[in-house]
Amino acid sequence: MHVYTPPSTAKTIPVIDLKGSFSELLEDRKAVAWEVHKAARDTGFFYIKNHGVSTDVMDGQLDVARQFFALSQSEKLQIDARNSECMRGYEAMAIQVLDDGSQPDLKEGFMAGRDLGPGHPYVVNKVPYHGPNQWLADKKWLRHSTERYIETMRALGTHLAGILALSLDLPEAYFGKGCDEPMVTTRLLHYPPQMGVGEGNQLGAGAHTDWGLLTILMQDDVGGLEVQNADGDWVNAPPIPDTFVINLGDMVPVLTNGLYHSNMHRVFNRSPEKHRYSVPTFFDLDYFYRIKAVPTLKSAENSVEVTVGEHIANMYRKTYALESRALATVQ
């Protein structure tokens, strides 16, 4: 006799092969979407392989992160994000608090997005988070590699939005209008080693959910990412070569009336000697796109509706322990 015990949620994070999602056959694409559907209802996290991004592009951007953070502090502060009207540039160590009540996160970063020209309507109209990046004039490698990477992530994010739509029994192009002018933000991140949890529960990145639609994370071989599953247990997300870690942001539960999860995650670099580098890209729909439950999951009780821009602005205000012109521009 096998005595019944209640099933538990996943203790590992699934690896989804995207190869079929590039097929001309709709049934192949739907098969991949079904795997996303299952992962999204459990952890809200999954790895992707055969995603179409070359190893050279991935390794090259991680090398850029290592090179950038090896620069002197005075060089990095020349492009301080606090001097940017659209929150682009260098983020000094421990200026963000992702876990409210904990000490600031033990990490530094560099943020860049789609570099829209001065004549673009969103720049002309001063739409928050749209505008020029900050670059170091004598470090051409930083701009060249990062701009290429952002465009690569824009293409991958648009593809994943189509898979997400299919997973919800929607047309692949359901999010198409939101992908015409997506908000694509890439961050380079550096986590120094930690001998243990810092005073005041200080981690590399405190427990949090991501704010937007999709996060496409590339991590090095050091590890440290931990994910909370639907049972509330913490699960390691170890590095797997040639994969990205995908997680769903807070806009997805709104879109899916709570069917899909945006789960807590954190970073703790336990390595006593190694520095951890990662490159997350946040792929969000158009700033003015209204987030609400999709037709296949809409209910009379679900009346939550907010624009992408309104939501992102609220989260910036909440998590950054700094005053910046970027935040001051958000109404």
CATH code for position 247 = 2.60.120.330
pLDDT at 313: 80
Tokens 């991680």 belong to 62
Asked if the structure places residue 6 within a domain, the reply is no
CA distance 252 to 258: 8
Q: What is the mean pLDDT of the chain?
A: 89
Does residue 8 fall inside a structural domain?
A: no
Pick 197 or 247 by higher pLDDT: 247
What per-residue confidence (pLDDT) applies to 109? Answer: 98
Domain that includes residue 58, residue range: 15-328
- pLDDT, tens digit (0-9, with 9 covering 90-100), for 287-330: 999 999 999 887 756 667 889 998 888 777 766 543 343 333 33
Whether 272 is covered by a domain: the verdict is yes
Per-residue pLDDT reduced to its tens digit, 131-177: 999 999 999 999 999 999 999 999 999 999 999 999 999 999 999 99
The set of residues, in sequence order, having a beta carbon less than 8 Å from that of 4 and lying 6+ positions away, is none
Q: Is 50 left (phi over 0), alpha (psi -120 to 50) or beta?
A: left
Does 265 reside within a domain? yes
Bridge partners (DSSP) listed for residue 96 = 320
Low-confidence winner among 30-44, 229-243, 309-323 (lowest mean pLDDT): 309-323
| Res 87 pLDDT > 50 | yes
Residue 52 belongs to a domain = yes
Structure confidence at residue 110 as a pLDDT band (50, 70, 90) = very high
Q: Is the pLDDT of residue 1 over 80?
A: no
Decide: 304 and 293 in contact? Cβ < 8 Å: yes
Has residue 236 been placed in a domain?
yes
pLDDT of residue 331: 26
- Structural domain includes residue 202: yes
As a whole number of angstroms, the distance between CA 295 and CA 25 comes to 25
Per cent of the chain over pLDDT 90 is: 70
Q: What total number of domains does the chain contain?
A: 1
